[in-house]
A = this chain, B = another copy of it.
Amino acid sequence: MAVYTEVSDEELEAFVAAYDIGEVTSCKGIAEGVENSNFLLQTTTGSYILTLYEKRVDPADLPFFLNLMDHLASRGLDCPTPLHGRDGVALRSLCGRPAVIVTFLTGLWPRRISVAHCTGLGGAMARMHAEGQSFPMTRPNSLGLWGWRPLFEKAADRADEVKPGLAVEIGAELDFLETQWPRDLPSGVIHADLFPDNVFFQGDTCSGLIDFYFACTDFLAYDVAVCLNAWCFEPTGEFNVTKASAMLSAYRKVRPMSEAEMAALPVLARGSAMRFLLTRLYDWLNTPAGAMVKRKDPLEYERKLRFHAGIRGVADYGITL
């Protein structure tokens, strides 16, 4: 659940007056996302999204995120674009928080993933990777390989509360990942959080990507590995090779993957599973009982990790080298 900051009507009207988007006719807090406060803003000129950045976003990162959205949109990608005020400024302040208004993206995020959704995702992700190659800014992935052990250390002593033996299992897996992690794969801007609620569709057609607030510079194939985990497992836990194959072939039609990238997918998928296992584990152990957020099960990602550790090769993802 979101919306942490209550914006008064006077503050809102003063804020919107800095833009050339008409008068506010409605503004409703959106009950999606957990990192920021998001409002569906309607004015006499149309619909927009108003975002107030709460404490989990580092203000120093905002220029990277906003410029990235500008860059991708200018290349024809469907994603929210920050509006600039009459003074040219996009990143402003509202209720003491950094705030922006971005364009409204139509579409629904898929609650039940179909093969067609995986196809749409694959193509959209590949176009983002391709167009991101000319984006000049970089941002390290703070939740990448070298961020995992420090995060684990904050949760290690209590990990076995979630499952006996979990701390030992994670420690061994980190040893593996730190030695086996690939080097020299093609890098660039990745989204790093392409879960279904960040990908909009109209029917079977992908209408755009949102929520670039984990975007960073890393192996492009790592983004693909995140999506193998987020899109290609059934709610019952089974890996769906048809979905994986559909996503990967749609991706490769737009941006061919090298043999090295494809061969690295299993270890990248283990790493991606580790990333979400660790953040969920940390949140699970550190979310106060009364907090107004729904905790996500870390063990879902422990099971996904084990799946990737156990496969025979990328044929299990529906592709061949």
Binding site for B on A (CB under 8 A): 1-3, 6-10, 12, 24-32, 40, 42, 47, 104, 106-112, 201-202, 289-290, 292-294
Contacts and interface: CB of A to CB of B under 8 A. Distances in A.
A29 B26 contact: no
A8 B111 contact: yes
B294 A292 contact: yes
A25 B111 contact: no
A6 B292 contact: no
A290 B112 CA distance: 28
Nearest to A292: B292
Contacts of A25: 106-107, 202
A288 B228 CA distance: 37
A11 B140 CA distance: 40
A108 B31 contact: no
B12 A108 contact: yes
A9 B106 contact: no
B289 A289 contact: yes
A120 B31 CA distance: 29
A108 B47 contact: no
A137 to B, nearest CB: 30
Contacts of A27: 108
A225 to B, nearest CB: 26
A106 B26 contact: yes
A24 B108 contact: yes
A41 to B, nearest CB: 10
A286 B8 CA distance: 30
Given A8-B112, A111-B8, A289-B290, A3 B28 contact: no
A71 B309 CA distance: 64
**Closest A-B pairs by Cβ, 4 of them:** A29-B31, A8-B111, A31-B31, A25-B106
Given A1-B1, A290-B289, A28 B40 contact: yes
Nearest to A3: B31
Which of A8, A108, A289 has the most CB atoms of chain B within a 10 A radius of its CB? A108
A272 to B, nearest CB: 25
